[in-house]
Amino acid sequence: MEIAVMLALVGATAAIILTPLRTRLPEPGSEAPAPVRSGTDAADALADLEFDHATGKLDDDDYAALRADVETARAAEAAYPAPAGRATPALRTLDALEAEILALRRKQRFCTACGTALPKAARFCPDCGTPVAARP
Amino acid sequence: MNRTNRKIFAAVVVFVLAGAYLAYSGARSSMAYYLTVGELLDRAGAMRQADIRLSGTVSAGTIAHDPVAGTLAFRVTDGARALDVRYRGVVPDAFKDGAEVVVEGRFDGRTFTASRLFAKCPSKFETEDDG
Amino acid sequence: MSPGAMGEIGALAISMAFAVSAYGTIVPLLGVRLRRPEVVHSGLRAVYANALLLAVAAAALLYALLTRDFGNAYVAGYSSRDLGFWYTLSVFWAGQAGSLLFWAVVLAGFSALAVWRLGHLRELLPYAAATLMGTSTFFTMVLTFVSSPFARLPIARTDGAGLNPLLQNPGMFFHPPTQYLGYVGTAVPFAFAVAALATRNLDDRWIRATRRWTLLSWFFLSWGLIFGMMWAYVELGWGGFWAWDPVENAALMPWLTATAFLHSVMIQEKRDLLKVWNLVLIILTFALAVFGTFLTRSGVLSSVHAFATSSLGPLFFAFILLILGVSFGLLFTRLGALGSRGQLDSLISRESGFLFNNLIFVGAAFAVFIGTVFPILSEAVTGLKISVGPPFFNQINVPIGLALLLLMGVCPLLAWRKASPRSLLRAFVVPGALAAAGAVLLIAAGVRHPAALAAFGLGLFAAAAVVQDVHRGAKVRRGHGEPYALALGRLAGRNPRRYGGYVVHLGIVLLFAGMAGSALGTERDVVLAKGETVRAGRYTLRYDGGGSYAQGKRLITEAALTVFQGGRRLAEMRPQRNVHTRREEQVMTEVAIRTTLREDLYVILSGIGDDGRANLRVIINPLMMWMWIGAGVLTLGTVLAAWPQAVPAAQARARLVAEAA
């Protein structure tokens, strides 16, 4: 009786584990990798902002400013749709674009010759020495 | 590091320093040497003023417990050497011959005066679960 | 079937589980490497086979316990003929070998469930399964070669040694399995984190998928602690519920990091920040869970020299090092891919609130860890062990608790990204006023303890802030034309995680209130002759005499007390100090507790002298009941937080399409 149970146990285990090996399946290869999902997308972010504003956590001007940020990012997303796949060169361009937009909002200036970020009151670029224009 | 990150960093530093201070003062007020019977006896002279947590087992047959007066006396041992302990207070359930105990208090060279007493069931080959 | 036969089946099942777990660790990875999906499937099937085998092993142990097979060393060591049905069941997890089997069984069940339900994460699954099976390999290895619950005695005993009476108590019935469910539950998010690292799939997919697992394991970790506190309060009989004992700390630390993790993943999901931090947290949580298991099972810190005498110590230590080594190694090599797309916009924002929350929790975990391993550290440095006591832990953790209460109040008032200071201050007004009013009332009522006052005040603040935020949210929806009740329901339905979290916070406020109350208690020792009375708080206790009598296998010593309040007879209390007349003469104190919402009256009988005088300790613990009420509220909040989110149909369809890809 005991032997029977033991054999059944071994048999069941072997069956469970080994049956998949009988059929050979095609190699995985070129499935389209799933789209990257990181952080909330623009629609959710806008909904958050509206709710925070409605419940009195955001002043009108802060709300307007943040909303503008999100809309800019959303416009960028629409112009460069997020491709399916991991961080590809296109996605890095989107990152760079967003960084540029954010920087502009903070009135960060860049040297027109070499592109380095300029300190606030600089009159010459610290890297390449080009004189800084009066207003970008 | 931009302005926001700098502020965050500063807040974190303040927090860590505050925590370190609290930890330090808490440690100072409750630090005690954690010794076996043998280790304490070897250093008895130097440890008269020190707060000590002594660990060992209760020597069989040495328990003198007066539940009404609330006094307890026994000898604690590390298997080779033993010393006397005096304690006043609630005696934990696990306390009996052979139990593992930890007593907190001071040693004057002859008697260990305990302010706190903890006991664990005597361990068998496998450690018993008590929590 | 002879009893020995069932035991042999159990032993075989465990050895096979070891082999199958090893198979399940290697083969999925092999299948990925060879690019043969059927090999991966075979490896995943091993997870199911493992669960089957361990279920058989568990059944075998239960059979041995319930048929009183005293030829089995474990059964003979922990149970006895006179042990009731439920406590005989609890012997399963009472001793070392059985509790390791319990761990392995729960792990097997959770792994099977995870593989079944998370099959859509095709890339991650092989690595996650391998991680889970790797853990299972360790535990089944220990069960097979070191500590088996099926070892037989050379000669079967006629009766077992019996279960330690201290464990024969409802709190101790529920505490170990709940605690283990919590520990093992952390393995699933950990496994998927490792899989995410291994496959460089470093977005928040693994977090979203394992969110419910994290919540579930956090819930069980919380209840493990609560049951432990209940047991300590009622059974250990010293009037308190937490002693900063190494074993208690071992259960607390993973809870702290798990709570931090629960919160900080929300930041990653919202703003794509703290990705490295989250991975570190889940790795630490799982490592601490295994460490907690190891600490309770091997007595390393509670007994000065137990490390060397327990064979389990070095094995567990090596396993934890392996976990940390592999996970952090993977993390280090993937650091480049873990940059954030977002950034922290402002110091005053919900994100930074969550960040501070994390710092506080991890700080607390760190402090508890240092305090717990202090003796080992100091021995390495000075040659002598130095330990720290409760004052150390309290000095750190009381301010931390207060800071958490403050955060729980402030965070609901903060907006994402950037909060407007003016709006924030306006939002502070009502909760702040309530808190101040409450504090003033308490001071007027005679409460002077600064930490307790702060706890009550901040607790009021936190509760009021939560209620205010819920109310505002409902008002917004009502502005769209919904009746208030429906608005509340829809609000919670659309975002159950947030509102469930709010309810959990309310539970924590109540828990802290109960803890603060116990700091305001009083305690006195008194010796009474028959007829004498003692005043304690608003009560008067009269000792009506006492004595000893035999009952079954116990010698009961009991004191009869009558409790009066202002001349009115309230109740009788009968604290006991019993001796179990087994081979080991175990003493059992049964405290007498009278609970009201306001306070607990707690009486310990130290003993009755030959002259009939009783030595009693009378303790008043204000607000104890609120701790357990808080635990209940916490449970309700967790259920709400785990509820599926109600989303409008179009949005739901879009999400499904995205997830399925």
**ipTM value:** 0.82
Same domain, B49 and B103: yes
Show the DSSP H helices in C334-389 as ranges. Answer: 350-382
- In single-letter form, the type of residue at position C332 comes to F
Same domain, B42 and B98: yes
How would residue C658 be classed by pLDDT, with cut points 50, 70 and 90? low
What would the pLDDT profile of C638-652 be if each residue is shown by its tens digit?
999 988 877 665 565
Residue B124 lies in a domain: no
Q: Do residue A13 and residue C53 have CB atoms under 8 angstroms apart?
A: yes
Report the C-alpha gap between C162 and C91 in whole angstroms. Answer: 9
Same domain, B19 and B70: no
Q: Which of C636, C619, C626, C365 is nearest to C515 (CA)?
A: C626
pLDDT given for residue A134 in this prediction: 56
Same domain, B45 and B81: yes
| Chain C touching partners, 3 or more CB pairs below 8 A | A, B
How would residue B34 be classed by pLDDT, with cut points 50, 70 and 90? confident
Report the C-alpha gap between C585 and C608 in whole angstroms. Answer: 18
The answer to whether C539 and C565 have CB atoms below 8 angstroms apart is: yes
From A5-14, C193-202, C380-389, C562-571, the region with the lowest mean pLDDT: C380-389
> In chain B, which residues have their Cβ closer than 8 Å to the Cβ of C356?
11, 15
Rounded to the nearest 10 degrees, the angle between the axes of helix C350-382 and helix C390-410 is 170
The average pLDDT across C44-54 equals: 96
pLDDT given for residue A11 in this prediction: 93
Beta bridge partners of C527: C615
pLDDT given for residue C489 in this prediction: 83
> In chain C, which residues have their Cβ closer than 8 Å to the Cβ of B104?
389
Task: For residue C344, give the DSSP letter.
Answer: -
Residue B129 lies in a domain: no
| Chain A touching partners, 3 or more CB pairs below 8 A | C
Greater pLDDT, B102 or C216: C216
pLDDT given for residue A92 in this prediction: 42
The average pLDDT across C510-535 equals: 91
The tokens for C300 are: 């390393």
pLDDT at C185 over 90: yes
pLDDT at C306 over 50: no
Greater pLDDT, C19 or C238: C19
Same domain, B72 and B89: yes
> How many CB atoms sit inside 10 A of residue B4's CB?
17
Q: Which of C561, C462, C443, C577 is nearest to C509 (CA)?
A: C462
pLDDT at C12 over 60: yes
Closest-approach residue (CA) in chain C for A40: C270
Q: Which of C360, C375, C607 sits opposite B67 (nearest CB)?
A: C607
Q: Do residue A59 and residue C661 have CB atoms under 8 angstroms apart?
A: no
> In chain B, which residues have their Cβ closer than 8 Å to the Cβ of C387?
31-34, 53
- Chosen from A37, A57, A69, A93 to mutate, greatest number of chain C CBs within 10 A: A57
Residue B128 lies in a domain: no
Helix (H/G/I), strand (E/B), else coil: C276: helix
Strand-strand pairing, C522-528 and C385-387: unpaired
Same domain, B26 and B48: no
| Chain B touching partners, 3 or more CB pairs below 8 A | C
B-C contacts (CB, under 8 Å): 169
pLDDT given for residue A37 in this prediction: 54
pLDDT at B105 over 80: yes
pLDDT given for residue C61 in this prediction: 95
Q: For position B55, which CATH number holds?
A: 2.40.50.140
> How many CB atoms sit inside 10 A of residue C476's CB?
18
pLDDT given for residue C611 in this prediction: 85
pLDDT given for residue C656 in this prediction: 60
Residue B61 lies in a domain: yes
pLDDT given for residue C304 in this prediction: 38
The answer to whether C587 and C577 have CB atoms below 8 angstroms apart is: yes
pLDDT given for residue B125 in this prediction: 30
pLDDT given for residue C287 in this prediction: 96
Report the C-alpha gap between A96 and C152 in whole angstroms. Answer: 68
Distance from CA of B85 to the nearest CA of C (A): 19
pLDDT given for residue C299 in this prediction: 55
The tokens for C15 are: 């050895």
Side-chain-side CA neighbours of A122 within 13 Å: the count stands at 19
Q: Which of C166, C577, C587 sits opposite B130 (nearest CB)?
A: C166
What would the pLDDT profile of B37-52 be if each residue is shown by its tens digit?
888 888 888 888 888 8
Beta bridge partners of B112: B85, B107
Report the C-alpha gap between C434 and C125 in whole angstroms. Answer: 51
Distance from CA of B29 to the nearest CA of C (A): 7
Which residue ranges of chain A lie beneath pLDDT 70?
Answer: 29-41, 77-108, 120-121, 133-136
Q: Do residue C272 and residue A38 have CB atoms under 8 angstroms apart?
A: yes
The answer to whether C304 and C231 have CB atoms below 8 angstroms apart is: no
pLDDT given for residue C638 in this prediction: 94
Q: Do residue C341 and residue A23 have CB atoms under 8 angstroms apart?
A: no
pLDDT at B129 over 70: no
Transcribe C103-134 into DSSP letters: HHHHHHHHHHHHHHHTTT-TTTHHHHHHHHHH
Helix (H/G/I), strand (E/B), else coil: C281: helix
pLDDT given for residue A86 in this prediction: 41
What percentage of chain C carries pLDDT values higher than 70? 95
> In chain C, which residues have their Cβ closer than 8 Å to the Cβ of B69?
527, 609, 615
CA C88 to chain centre: 24
Same domain, B114 and B63: yes
Q: How many structural domains are present in chain B? A: 2
Q: Do residue A37 and residue C23 have CB atoms under 8 angstroms apart?
A: no
> In chain C, which residues have their Cβ closer than 8 Å to the Cβ of B93?
166, 236-237, 586-589
Per residue, what are the HEC states of C136-199?
A: HHHHHHHHHHHCCCCCECCCCCCCCCCCCHHHCCHHHHHHHHHHHHHHHHCHHHHHHHHHHHHH
Same domain, B108 and B50: yes
Question: In terms of residue numbers, what domain contains B106?
Answer: 37-119
Distance from CA of C30 to the nearest CA of B (A): 38
How would residue C486 be classed by pLDDT, with cut points 50, 70 and 90? confident
Residue B125 lies in a domain: no
Q: Which of C167, C360, C386 sits opposite B31 (nearest CB)?
A: C386
> In chain C, which residues have their Cβ closer than 8 Å to the Cβ of A40?
269-271
Residue B24 lies in a domain: yes
Q: Do residue A24 and residue C38 have CB atoms under 8 angstroms apart?
A: yes
Report the C-alpha gap between A45 and C371 in whole angstroms. Answer: 43
- In single-letter form, the type of residue at position C438 comes to G
The average pLDDT across C506-521 equals: 92
Strand-strand pairing, B52-58 and B71-77: antiparallel
What would the pLDDT profile of C431-483 be if each residue is shown by its tens digit?
999 999 999 999 998 888 899 999 999 999 999 999 998 988 888 877 777 77
The tokens for C523 are: 């305690």
Longest C-alpha distance within chain C, in Å? 85
Distance from CA of A39 to the nearest CA of C (A): 5
Rounded to the nearest 10 degrees, the angle between the axes of helix C312-333 and helix C187-199 is 40
pTM: 0.86
Same domain, B99 and B74: yes
Same domain, B55 and B12: no
Residue B130 lies in a domain: no
Same domain, B15 and B59: no
pLDDT given for residue B124 in this prediction: 39
Check residue C550 and give left, alpha or beta (phi > 0: left; psi -120 to 50: alpha).
beta
Show the DSSP H helices in C445-564 as ranges. Answer: 450-479, 484-494, 496-519
Per residue, what are the HEC states of C465-487?
A: HHHHHHHHHHHHHHHCCCCHHHH
Highest mean pLDDT among C254-268, C551-565, C601-615: C254-268
Rounded to the nearest 10 degrees, the angle between the axes of helix C3-34 and helix C37-66 is 160
What would the pLDDT profile of C439-450 be if each residue is shown by its tens digit?
999 999 888 889
Distances in whole angstroms, Cα of residue C347 to Cα of each of B19, C350, C409, C418? 21, 9, 17, 8
Distances in whole angstroms, Cα of residue C221 to Cα of each of C57, C95, C248? 25, 20, 12
Q: Do residue A20 and residue C469 have CB atoms under 8 angstroms apart?
A: no
> In chain B, which residues have their Cβ closer than 8 Å to the Cβ of C347?
4, 7-8, 11
Report the C-alpha gap between C125 and C121 in whole angstroms. Answer: 6
Same domain, B25 and B44: no
Q: Which of C310, C367, C525 sits opposite B127 (nearest CB)?
A: C310
Report the C-alpha gap between C557 and A105 in whole angstroms. Answer: 79
Phi and psi, residue B57, nearest 5°: -120, 155
Report the C-alpha gap between C32 and C571 in whole angstroms. Answer: 70
Distance from CA of C94 to the nearest CA of B (A): 6
- Chosen from A2, A17, A30 to mutate, greatest number of chain C CBs within 10 A: A17
Greater pLDDT, B97 or C635: C635
Report yes or no: C414 at the A interface, CB cutoff 8 Å.
yes
pLDDT at C338 over 70: yes
Q: Do residue B128 and residue C346 have CB atoms under 8 angstroms apart?
A: no
Report the C-alpha gap between C624 and C629 in whole angstroms. Answer: 9
Q: Which of C278, C299, C89 is nearest to C173 (CA)?
A: C89
Phi and psi, residue C459, nearest 5°: -60, -45
| H-helix or E-strand spanning residue C430 | helix C421-444
pLDDT given for residue B5 in this prediction: 77
The tokens for B118 are: 């903890």
> In chain C, which residues have their Cβ closer than 8 Å to the Cβ of B128?
95, 164
How would residue C267 be classed by pLDDT, with cut points 50, 70 and 90? confident
Q: Which of A106, A128, A94, A123 is nearest to C342 (CA)?
A: A94
Transcribe C45-107 into DSSP letters: HHHHHHHHHHHHHHHHHHHHHHTT-TTBHHHHHH--TT--HHHHHHGGGTSHHHHHHHHHHHH
Report the C-alpha gap between A71 and A77 in whole angstroms. Answer: 10
Q: Do residue B8 and residue C296 have CB atoms under 8 angstroms apart?
A: no
What would the pLDDT profile of C138-172 be if each residue is shown by its tens digit?
999 999 999 899 999 888 888 888 887 777 888 78
